[in-house]
Structures are given as structure tokens and as C-alpha cells.
Chains A and B, each alone.
Chain A
Amino acid sequence: MTQSPPRPRPRDDGEATTPPPFAVTPEVDGDTAVDREPAPGRLHPLRRDGDLLLTGRAEFLDDIALPGLLHAAVLRSPHAHARVLRVDATAARQARGVRAVLAPEDADAQAAPLPAFFEPSIVGGKTSTFRILAGTKVTYVGEAVAAVAAETLADAEAALELIEVEYEVLPAVVDAEDALAPGAPLVFGEWGDNLLAVFPFAEGDAAAAVAAAPHRLSGELHTQRHHTAPMETRGYIASWDRAGRLTFWGSTQNPHPLRTNLSTVLGLPEDRIRVIATRLGGGFGHKFNGYAEEPLVCLLARAAGGPVKWVETRADALLVGAREFSHRFTVGYDDTGRILGIQDRVVGNIGALGSWGGWSMTFPAGMTFPGPYKVADYDIQSHAVVTNKAPWNGARGYGKETACLALERMVDLIAAERGLDPADVRRVNFIPEDEFPFWTAAKHLDSGNYAGALDKVLALSDYRGLRARQERARAGGRLFGIGLAFELTPEGGDFAGSFVRGYDTSTVRVYPSGAVTVLTGVTSPGTGNETSIAHLVASELGIPSEQVSVVQGDTDTCPYGFGNFTSRSLATGGAAAVLAAREIRDRMSGAAAALLDCAADDLRFADGNVTCVTVPTSSLSFAEVAETVYRRGLAAPGLDQPLLEVTRVDLPHNFHHVPDEQGRFSAYPSYPYSAHVAVVEVDAETGVVDLFEFHAVDDCGNVVSPRFVEGQLYGAISMGIGGALWEHQPYTTDGQPVATQFKHYLTPRAGDLPAIRLDSQHTPSPFTLLGTKGAGESGVGGGLAACVNAVNDALAPLGATAHHLPLNPPNVLAAIDAATNPGGAR
């Protein structure tokens, strides 16, 4: 749970140089005339708990120390694919400090199979049954086979060595194309093949359009297995009280669905379980619920008779995969670079399926096509292929980044082939501003001014100047590259049938003292949405933000909610809180109207007061009104609504679940976008890429807290850059993951990144209460694609293309060698 308490009002000695805040346009948010200015002199609400975070006093899961806390360790499969013949834990049970040992049969006897975070069969995919501990077959290195709880972590880990497991090793398959080949080892024998699902996204007749196009080109692109790497790894604590009630602390993004799952797996009524989501040191999808360790700590705690904690090691965190995609595409176009048809065979190597949700990233990977471009004929087939690598979980970008990468490469390849400027090719293909809302096969795009954002980033980066610099550098024999990328980022998805839903719930409660609490079903992965929600509610009620506390993540306290994913917080929980606050304000208006003898319409809620605009001396403080409602409600005339607590639900009003007559549907409601320019120089002799400029313009509609949006962009772009250039979890051919530490899995450090320059544009969504769009993922695809385009632009004079990511020095040099020394030694 994160509880952000009210804070004393800070002094109003503000800053004056930040961009204008709270750009909520009245046209969209016509329902309210509230003043969303923060306290005078302050241009951004202060981040809640920023002081605790900066001084190292914020509490994370691993800081929780319950009396008698025991520690869990998990025995994991060392084999990528094997039958489990025997698990003997006898010796471990006798080992020092050991309080509980679970073998597969113990777990099976006490627990039902794991519910999937996102059940593939809902969308027509194959499925399987997953248990907490694998007792019959393991399908990847790292799959949990047994577990121990002991007095110290050292004792628990030592006891693992005493558990004997007999395996019959089976042939493993780690490459997606190998897995699709006839005769490949089957990850799930009963399937008959290794194809979980194929998601087609098509309009028109792509094959005919491509065939008829004046020009066409084909290519292949491969992204490596890379994922999120939150600073704080996962962790869970379970504690049973004497009455058999379970309290569960989790570093998780979805406390309520997690509780539902625990109820299902443990066979315990949901109201006997309290799940508390602790403050997150990063989520990014890595902390979606659905992991075996969630119920596992509960079983261990029950068996041991004491609370049990499990914290994921870095090596275990690096097992959780994502984003290993390949594209085989053909695109047809005319002389001006206008795209006439796209065919892309997308393949996601999703690892072994598990109960985790990440496999579903193959859906947006296809759905996002054709991005910001107006293409009548396209045919995208996105394949989810299982192999004997560890399963995927969610990863910021969620497959949309791979669509962006493929599309943006296609556009640049067209520009290069036609001798056109890549910016111009984008411009001729954009969906025009006046055609929104715009339908594609599986998207109802809300609003956009794509050309405006592109123009803005070209100006921000001095694009013409950059091209002039490039010309000079090339004349001097240097490999100077400029990469553009335009990213469309579907956000806020709703997958009915799962617990990945598009709506959420908030309660606003006013106490007699005038203190206000928001209880919401959306959680924060550390982005600061609690600050924004408090600010929105405070603005509706005309009180300082500091008077509003926000409670998230505690299932005993908060309304049922779906937590944090797909950049949904403000358009769902935030909007619901605004609606609830408005209803509270109406109720308090009724009371104040009676108390001040003023028409309710003439009341103004501002500066902590409720004032009658026609008689400005006639005023009560917000707290006085609240207290009077509690003390005199239902007893004094006009005070007939004493309940100062309202719960509302809201969502972006742009879901189209039932296909229209053309078969079109839209599971995502909100479509922010961003334009990017990356500038690199490539060292031709070593393959080292120096990324030295990055510019981006983002449009996520109306913005509540500009600095938080900037923070998201910095992070997302950095993540995209990391994926383009360095981050990689390699596997050996027999299925062993190789990167086990941050010295192997190379995320960018501050010194690896240029100063990212940002600007913004605001095109409100007509479908969300506040005109906002999602703001958490934009930049992953743009950072990735802009870097890859920039490197390829740099290599152009050598005739080289670098389409195997990451573009780290060995891969870049291999691309150079392939072009300059074909058939050479390498």
C-alpha cells in the first residue's frame, strides 16, 4: 500500500520558468469551471513522498521486517526441457534452520493450478495447466520445482542443495523458427506444434496492392530478447493470523487481481485475504501478477507457521523475458514514397508459456500496424511461438515498440531507395489531421496532429542543420547518422474476460475536519500518479493538494481495481476520482447553499473556501461545511445528504468490443504519439555507436503534471535506447540464459545517454474525461526505432544495413563487414 498523507502547506515562493501546467482545455472538460492552477507561485504539484524517497526513508517490500520472519528460497530447473522423475526433499527437511519444504506433490495437494494473468484461450490461443511447482515436466531453465522456508536466507539456500531431483533431459528448442519447423521438440506435447496463436490484422488486399505497386522492397528485422530491469526486483511476504486470515505484501502492479488469484489457488474466500501492494521501485510489466511465487510464499508460511518472505534475485529477474521479435516484411510504394501495401510476418519468441501475461505482447505487436500511417492495404500476421526459454512477462512498450521499429525502418528504407528525405516520406503517409477519429482493422484512433509533432521535432533538433553537419562529416569520411522515428502508442487496453480491464474505480471521502481521502483501484509503479490524482481532486474541491491523501494498493481499504498497466491511471482511476469529487462538491454545494442562503449555482469552491459569488462576504471554509454536514445533516433544513463519500467508475469512452460490419474493433481507447530524432556517429573500425543527441516531441493530449510526463518520456526513451544498443539476454543453444548480472545485461547508465531534449504538443482525446491520453509508454518504440534508423543512416555510405539488434559493437561491425567484405572471414 502506498498512503500519501496530507502534508503541511508549503510556502508559496515559487519557480517561474517551467512550461504552463495543467493544460486542460475547457472545450473538452466543459463540465467543470474549476481552476486547475496549483497553489500560486507553484507550477507543478510537489511530488508526494519525494522527501522520503530522496532521503532513503521510503519503505519497500524488503524493508518490511515482521517478528519471526522466515525466508524462502526456490529450487529451479537447471534444464531447459526435462521430465521430472522424482523429487526427494527428505534431507532438506532435516537441515539447519529449515521450517518448511515444499515438493511439487505437497503444493499440488494444497493448491489449485495457477490462473493465467491473461488466458490465451480467451483470444483463441492454445493453453496448458500450470502448477506452483513443476512436478512432471519443466519447460525452461528457472522453472520452480521445490521451495524451502528457513530462519535465514542462507539456511534456506543451503537446504536447496539437499533436495534431490531426478530429471530425464529432453531435447530443447530455443529459436522460434526452429520451433516452427516440422519435427521440432514440442514444448507442450499435447499441442502438436509450438504455435500458441496467430493474430491477423488486415485491411484490403495487401498482396495485390504490393504486387501492383510501382516499387517494392523486402527485409528482415530481428530484435533480441530484452526486457525490463526494475531496480527493485519482485518480492512477496505472506503472514497468516490465528483465525486463518492471510495478509500478503507484494511488490506487485495488481493487488486486487492478485488477491482473486490467491483466493482461487488457495481455495480461500477473497474476503479472508488482504493484499497490500508495497511501494514499487519500478514495475514496467515485470510486476504483473500471476507468478508461482505469489501463492508459494502463502503455502510456505502456512506450513512453517510463521510469516515468510521471498525476494527475487537479480539472476531470476533477468529470466523473465520479453520483446524477442522478428519481422519479415514486404512493402509496396509509389514514386513519392506513399505506402500502398504492407505485408509483415511477425514472430514473437515468447519462451515457454506460463501463467505470466507477457505472451500477449504479440497482439499489440500486430495491432499497432500501420501506426500513424494511412495505408489501405496491409496484412500483418503476428505469431506467438513457444520455446524452451523462460516465459515473457509484460514489458513497457508491450509489443507496440516492435511495430514502431518495423514501420519506421520501412519508411526509412523507402526514403533511401527513392532518394527522398525520410521526413517527407512520413509526411505523405500520415493520417491527415481532419480524418480523426480514424478506423484501422483493430484501432479507433482518437485524435492526432502527426505532421505538427513531426514539424516540431524537426525544429527542435534543427534537422536541416543536422543534415548539413552530416554532409560535412561524410565528406570527411565519418559515419554520421540521423534517425527519425514516429511512434504511435496504443494505451489503456481493455480485455474483457481477463482482469486486464479498461475501467477503474475511485472513492472520494471527506472527513469532518475537511481532510479528503481518495481510495483508488489504480496503483502507482513509482510514476507519481498519486500526486496527480490528489491534485485533480483538490482542484475540484477548491482546496490545497496537501489536504488530500491518496490510498492505493490495499485491498482491505480500496475499491476493487485492476492496478497499473498500459498507462491507464489518469483516464480511469483519475477520472473516476474527479467524477466522485464533483458529486461530493454537489452535495456540499447543497449544504452550503442552505447555510449561506445562496443559490447553489452561485457558489465557488476555491482557496479552501466555499463562497457565494453574489455576496463575497458570505463564505464558509470547506472544513466548516464538511463539519456542519456531519453535525447537522438530516437535522437542519437543506442538509439532506450527509454522506460525504462517493464511489465512481470511469474509463476512456472509446472501446469497440463488438466488431462492426467490416469486422473492425478496438480494444485500446487512447493513442498518444511521439516524434523522435536521434543522432549518432559510428566508429567504422570497432562498430562502437556514439549516440550524442536525442530530441523528442510528445503528444499525450491534455497534461495534468508536465514534469511527470517528462519523467516518463526520459525513462521510456532510455529504455528504447537500451534495447536498440545494448540490452540482451542471450541463451545458449541448449537453453541456458547467459546474462545473470547487470555486468552482463547492459542497461544504459546516465553517462551512456545524451541529454534528451523534449518538447510537447497537446491534442486532447475527445473520449476521456480530462482529454488526457496515456503517458507511460511513449518513447520506448521511438527511442528504439530512432536509434536503429540513425545507425543505419550512418552506415549508408558503406551500403550496410544493421537489422540484428542490439546494435552493439560486435553486431554493428558484423553488419559493416557483411557489406564491405561479403564472404569475408566473419
Chain B
Amino acid sequence: MIRTPLRYHRPRTPDEASALLVEHRGDVAVLGGGTQLLPQMNRDQVHVGHLVDLRGLGLRRIEVTDDQVVVEALVTYADVLLSRDLSRAAPHLRRVAHGVTGGRQIRNTGTLAGSACFAMPGSDMPAALVGIDAILRLHGPDGAREVRAADFYVDAFTTVLRPGEFVLAITIPRTAARTGYCKVKHSSGSWPIATATARRLDGSATVTLGSVHATPLHVDVSDLASNGPVDRAALADRVRSALPAPWTDVLAPGDYRARIAGVVAARAFSELEGVPA
């Protein structure tokens, strides 16, 4: 049960929201779907006196234009799965959203932005967003700014969000790039243990690994793919050396994650390139 007295705020404008976040700095949290935040408050792991609910701002739209997809902060996994436009314009996002577990309750209430902001290493969304070059549109006391997902993550559970700042929307540039994906986890109830989003566009080849490190690990392997598929042995080496301090949690030790990171990366490329691992 939430043990502390709690004040609920429902601002009507982004500026009001930022003002509240500044005013109660250190004692306030943004409420998205609440699927992470509220259980943590119930378990007495997060204690704040103020909640700022973003629902008064709308923020439930998915907007697809010729050059980008905008996913507003309160868009849920279910919204993503139901949007045909998004499926066409950002199929990778749909695919990753589809793999989020927890049943209907989580899909219907959990938001992509909430997952992005929670910055938990063992979750799906952060690395997926980094892997498709997503940009987070933030709002703060000084107005709006944009941050690349790749620059958003500082450490486990820590982002570059400054006091008073919150995520308004996630934008995903539409490109001709195709992606390959691989995820390893123990069972359907498990957090991801390792994910990889592989991407090739023109001459570039990148892979973004999730859940293997405190923050999403973006690895450029363009030089390993000069003439055809990415060289698998070199890829494994590259991934290994990019991962000096693998993430450990209750489900899997870091050495296991380090051990399979290269495999997961290779499989993502195999899917993308149509070449066996």
C-alpha cells in the first residue's frame, strides 16, 4: 500500500506540468500508465508526495507522416498494436511492443514513453528505440528540446531528464532501413535477458543490444560489412569488447549475457540478411 500522503496533479498544459515538477522537485513523479510506478510505490520502493498525471495533456496520438512517426507519451502498447499506419511505418516498434508480456492489463495501460523513461536495463523498449534512431521530444521549464534515444540513457534507471522535464513524445524517422531482431529470455514471464536490433542502410550496419548492459549498447559494425553480410566472427569480437561490464540481475548473471550477446547480435543480422548465423 502507498504509505505516504499523496497529492495528485493533473495539469492542463506542458508548462503547468513542468512547473509542478520543478515545484515539488525531489518529491514528485510523472505518472504514465503507472504499471511500473504504482507497484513500486505499493512496495515502498518509491516514495513521493506528488504525482503529475499527464492525462490532462492528451498525448494519446500516433501520427504518421511521410518522414516520421510520432508516438505521444501516453500511447500504450495496445495502441501501437492496433495502429495500421504505425505497423506500416515502424514495423520494428510494433514487433517489439508485441513481445512485451504482462497480459492485457499491461498492454492496455503501459506506455512506451513510460518504459523509455524507466530506463530499466532488462526491458524491451529502450534498446529498441536506440536501435531505430528514435528521438525523444522533451518538455521542461525552459521549453522543448529533443534528445536522441542513443543519448538519453546515462545509467541503469537514469536518463538525461532534468528537473521539470518529461517526455512529450517519441519520434521515429522513416527511413528505408530494414531491421532484424532477436530476443532471448527464460520464459514468457521473464524480463528480456538479451535483445538485438540489427540495422543496415546504404553502407552502414549497426546493432543495438538491450538488457546486456546498464544502458542500451549501440555498436557500429559498418566496417565489418564492406562486401556483403556482416562478418560473424568479427561481430562477436566487436560485441564482446564493447561489453566490459555486462548487466546482472536476479534472472541472469552478467557473464551469461556477455556470453550470448554476440550470438543474439549475429541472429539479428541473420534475420536481416537472410544468411544463417
What is A's interface to B at a CB cutoff of 8 Å?
152-155, 157-158, 161, 315, 685-688, 725-726, 730, 738-740, 742-744, 746-749, 751-752, 808-810, 813-814, 817, 826
Contacts and interface: CB of A to CB of B under 8 A. Distances in A.
B3 A744 contact: no
B71 interface: no
Contacts, number: 73
A715 B210 CA distance: 34
Nearest to B277: A685
B1 A809 contact: no
A740 B2 CA distance: 18
Interface in B1-22: 1-4
Given A152-B1, A730-B250, A157 B44 contact: yes
Nearest to B190: A746
B188 A751 contact: yes
Nearest to A806: B186
Interface in B245-277: 250-253, 255-256, 259-260, 263-264, 277
A147 to B, nearest CB: 15
B212 to A, nearest CB: 12
Nearest to B194: A686
A686 B184 contact: yes
A744 B188 contact: no
A826 B1 contact: no
Nearest to B3: A158
A743 B39 CA distance: 12
A749 B252 contact: no
B188 A158 contact: no
Interface in B143-180: none
Contacts of A746: 186-187, 189-190, 251
A813 B43 CA distance: 34
A730 B190 CA distance: 15
A814 to B, nearest CB: 8
A152 B1 CA distance: 9
Contacts of B2: 154
A814 B255 CA distance: 10
A750 to B, nearest CB: 8
A782 B190 CA distance: 24
Given A751-B188, A752-B187, A154 B1 contact: yes
Nearest to A730: B250
B193 interface: yes
A752 B255 contact: no
A731 to B, nearest CB: 11
B191 interface: yes
A738 B250 contact: yes
A744 B1 contact: no
Contacts of A158: 3-4
Given A685-B260, A809-B256, A743 B186 contact: no
Interface of B: 1-4, 43-44, 101, 184, 186-191, 193, 250-253, 255-256, 259-260, 263-264, 277
B3 A726 contact: no
A543 to B, nearest CB: 43
Which of B184, B191, B256 is packed against the most chain A CB atoms within 10 Å? B256
Nearest to A744: B250
Contacts of B263: 685-686
A734 B121 CA distance: 25
A116 to B, nearest CB: 32
A809 B3 CA distance: 38
A746 B191 CA distance: 10
Contacts of A808: 186, 252
B250 A809 contact: no
A686 B260 contact: yes
Contact of B260 (A740, A752, A813): A813
B193 A749 contact: no
Contact of B250 (A153, A725, A739, A749): A739
Contact of A743 (B184, B189, B255, B264): B189
Contacts of A740: 43
B253 A810 contact: yes
A826 B263 CA distance: 16
A315 B44 CA distance: 12
Contacts of B193: 809
Contacts of B3: 154-155, 157-158, 161
Q: Which 3 A-B pairs have the closest CB atoms?
A: A154-B1, A158-B3, A810-B256
Contacts of B277: 685
Contacts of A739: 250
25 contacts: A158-B3, A158-B4, A685-B260, A686-B264, A687-B260, A725-B186, A725-B187, A726-B187, A730-B250, A738-B250, A740-B43, A743-B189, A746-B186, A746-B187, A746-B189, A746-B190, A746-B251, A748-B189, A749-B188, A808-B252, A809-B186, A809-B193, A810-B253, A810-B256, A813-B260
Contacts of A813: 256, 259-260
Nearest to A160: B3
Contacts of A157: 1, 3, 44
Contacts of A742: 189
Contacts of A751: 188
Given A730-B250, A744-B251, A810-B253, A153 B189 contact: no
A809 B252 contact: yes
A743 B4 contact: no
B90 to A, nearest CB: 25
Which of A161, A748, A813 is packed against the most chain B CB atoms within 10 Å? A813
Nearest to B257: A810
A747 B189 contact: yes
Contacts of B189: 742-743, 746-749, 752
A255 B248 CA distance: 44
A161 B1 CA distance: 13
Given A726-B186, A809-B184, A315 B256 contact: no
B217 to A, nearest CB: 18
A609 to B, nearest CB: 51
Nearest to B249: A744
Given A157-B3, A157-B44, 7 more contacts: A153-B1, A686-B263, A725-B186, A740-B43, A746-B189, A748-B187, A809-B260
